[in-house]
Chains A and B, each alone.
Chain A
Amino acid sequence: MSMAARRGKPKIRPPRKLGPDTSIKDTWTKLANAIREIQNHNASKLSFEEHYRYAYNMVLHKHGDQLYNGVKGLIAEHLDQLARDTIVPTFPRTSGSSSRGAEAIERAMEGDRFLKAVKGVWDDHTGSMRKLKDVLKYMDRSYTTSAGVPDIYEVGLTLFLQHIVRATPIHTHLIATLLSQVQLERDGETITRSTVRECVDILLRLSINDSNVYLADFEPEFLRRSADFYKLEAVTMLEKGDSALYLRNVERRLIEEADRTAHYLSSMTTNPLQDLLVEQLLSPHLSAILDASTGLTSMVDTEKVGDLRRLYTLLLRVPENIGRDALRLALRIDIEERGKAVNQSATETPDNDEDPKGKGKAKESNALSSALRWVQDTLDLKDKFDQLLAQAFGNDLSVQTSINEAFQSFINATPRAPEFLSLFIDEHLKKGTKAKTEDEIDQALEKTIILFRFLHDKDKFERYYKNHLARRMLYGRSASDDAEKGMVAKLKVEMGFQFTQKLEGMFTDMRISSEGATTFRNYLNRHGALPFDLSVNVLTASYWPQAIAAASTCTFNSTLAVATSTFQRYYDSRHSGRRLTWQGNLGHADVRVRFKARTHDLNVSTQALVVLLLFEDVDELSYEDIQAGSGLADAELGRTLQSLACGKFRILLKTPKGREVNPGDIFAFNDGFTCPLAKIKIMQVASKVESPREREETQVQVDEERKHVVEVSRLRRTR
């Protein structure tokens, strides 16, 4: 030391011995008395310095263990006394079975009193322990560290655990009371949460051998009780049979329990408890909740978006996606059920029409309307579920998949879905149906595209669509060219270029034909005019539906034959190597007919014209005569005659009378026909909806085509 060096040899005086003025025994007696005083809240009478010095001296003179154990003994003694005096008298009466009303309130108060007593003892104990810790600070500093024992405050906590918390019978009472307080609150009673919170905090503060007393003594029992309680509650609630109510209750309980753990239990319990609730209230009862009469189906029926959203969010909590999967399955079944109903109503209507009343046209329009209804119903259903998906199911992708799968399965369960869909589009694109704005049409078509996506038999749809499109274009019924093209463009987006190639070919044919009309007129001007106007649509056979292309032709009489041959010549002069086949079933004609009363302009199909022309010279012809004269096939002829003789305007009279045309019937020109209108349009009895026989044919053709495609792809693979 520099100072020492400077001053030469300093004399270091030994410190005065702080030797025990009194014996250790006396010191301890004084200290013990002082500790008792501290415990009895009389610290202000004591000199800290004095007693600190006593403890200091005891430790300094190697009596640390005596001091340590002595203090321990004093603390234990004091705790026992407190237990006896303060806690035992407040023991609640043996906790009876859960009851309501006054008794429950009393029990809540008794429990509260008991817990308050425990808390009081705890406060008292920790208070005096803090003082003791200060007084015995020197002991904690030197004795406890060197002896390797816990410091005195920790000892105090351990002793509290041994003598209060885990002492019989306090322990059982304490845990039971905490549980019963929780139970009382679950049953709807009011309890003093703060008291419970304080006692739980004591348990949380205490630990032995690194295991927390709360976790060791309280939580397992608490969870077990909760599981029992909710297991029972689940059963009783389910017996009421109201899923929406049940779910609301589950939601309430989840919030309550989360609130409970946050407010007066430990956050450590939050997750186990929530899992437990899900495990008891949801997991085992998924099917019961979903399938109940008030379950998913009724919620969807009544569009209870709130309930459905609750259902979805709750089921999401079930681990491993089990809940969501159950929901998906239930949704799927539900949608398929609904789909089945839609399918049924679509197929039922024609059956009803089997009775003799509904015949002919009525049947046709009924079948058509049922097709339209099917599509509309399906769209409505889809709309509904789309809405639910967005509002209740959070646009969950996997739920969406299930919904789509369900739609796919029920739509494809309807063999006539492609036809229905095409009819629906036909209805919207056709001229003269209900007046609709372009937006409405566009919307409707957009939706049909959605259904189209679900369709498996897309080739079948193409076939029908082609048929309907052909009819629309050839009969000039298409409402708007733009809408038609828009629809084809949509299909193109969905299916690619190949799919719509032929449809576009049809459009091209129509365009070229109308352009060709001008050149033909010029040709006529040069080569002499025909006795009537002629406009011809030249169709490329491969683009157009087979049914149209392959239909048999008919015999034109001399007047018409002149026209056809003129056009033939004109066409040959412009193109070589092309063969024209005349299709009488697709055209129409304006013809002026003189009746007895007045002259009418009739708009009839080409075939009807051919038939009418047969009556130019004769008044009466038999079915067979007409057939021979026109060269029409049975089906075609039957339809044509029906439109002329059985429709609204009867140009021909049939004997015997009736709606059906049969071989052997006699037809006569109806000279006495009257009608206020000058111009009359005679509608061909259209076969919009396929008859069962036609449908079979279509199926055969589709199969035929598919076989071809399969073979081609097989060939590609073998290469």
Chain B
Amino acid sequence: MTVTSVVRDAVIAKRGSKTNESIVKTGRILLSTMAESDFVLLESEDGFTFSVPRKVACASNILKSMLDEEAAFSESTTNSCKIQYRGVIVLKIVEYLAYKVQYQDVNAEDITEDFSERIDPYIALELLTAADFLDT
């Protein structure tokens, strides 16, 4: 499973009327065995929602704390998190989290993909602050 396939698997739905061709991708749930609760919703500032495997979301420490059932904040009860960034940023975040999950058990020298190549310079700084915020 490559990074891109995971991203494709994340069901990205447009809420509201705005359409942004660059980010809207329809996909299907690849792992049909996954139960509903194994997915969480990430909602961007501008109204995009991303359904991501819980495992991927929890690669961010902050998202993990947010969804921690023991602490029982409102996010964990609804299984959805608001992220105060634009959809394009959130998409990249999800992409990166998936990348992180994919390679978390792989030795550094065996990783051939370089994620930095996939970062559009236009969003680089905003992505940077988001990464700081989300502790990823």
Contacts and interface: CB of A to CB of B under 8 A. Distances in A.
B66 A49 contact: yes
Interface residues of A, number: 31
Contact of B83 (A1, A11, A49): A49
Contact of B75 (A11, A49, A53, A141): A49
A622 B66 CA distance: 134
Contact of B65 (A13, A15, A48, A141): A48
Interface of B: 61-62, 65-66, 68, 70-77, 81-84, 116-117, 119, 121-126, 128-129, 133, 135
B65 A56 contact: no
B73 A46 contact: yes
A13 B122 CA distance: 5
B129 A138 contact: no
Contact of B82 (A4, A49, A131, A134): A49
A14 interface: yes
A56 B133 CA distance: 7
Give the residue among A1, A11, A14, A48 with the most B Cβ atoms within 10 A: A48
A12 interface: yes
A141 B124 CA distance: 22
Contacts of B74: 43-48
A137 B68 CA distance: 14
A712 interface: no
Interface string A38-59: 0000011111111011001000
Contact of B71 (A1, A47, A134, A138): A134
For the complex of A and B, the 5 pairs showing the least CB-CB separation, nearest first, are A134-B65, A48-B73, A10-B121, A15-B126, A48-B66
B32 to A, nearest CB: 30
B104 to A, nearest CB: 20
Which secondary structure dominates where chain B touches chain A? helix
Given A48-B65, A134-B68, A135-B65, 11 more contacts: A4-B121, A16-B126, A18-B129, A44-B72, A48-B81, A49-B75, A52-B62, A53-B84, A131-B71, A134-B71, A138-B133
Interface of A: 1-4, 7, 10-16, 18, 43-50, 52-53, 56, 130-131, 134-135, 137-138, 141
6 contacts: A18-B129, A44-B77, A130-B70, A131-B73, A137-B62, A141-B135
Nearest to A14: B125
Contacts of A45: 74
Given A43-B72, A44-B73, A134-B71, A15 B82 contact: no
A12 B124 CA distance: 7
Nearest to B124: A12
B117 to A, nearest CB: 6
Nearest to B73: A48
A119 to B, nearest CB: 19
B87 to A, nearest CB: 14
A47 B82 contact: yes
B121 A12 contact: yes
Given A44-B74, A49-B75, A137-B135, A10 B125 contact: no
B66 A52 contact: yes
Contacts of A3: 116-117, 119, 121
A12 B122 contact: yes
A50 B82 CA distance: 9
Nearest to B130: A15
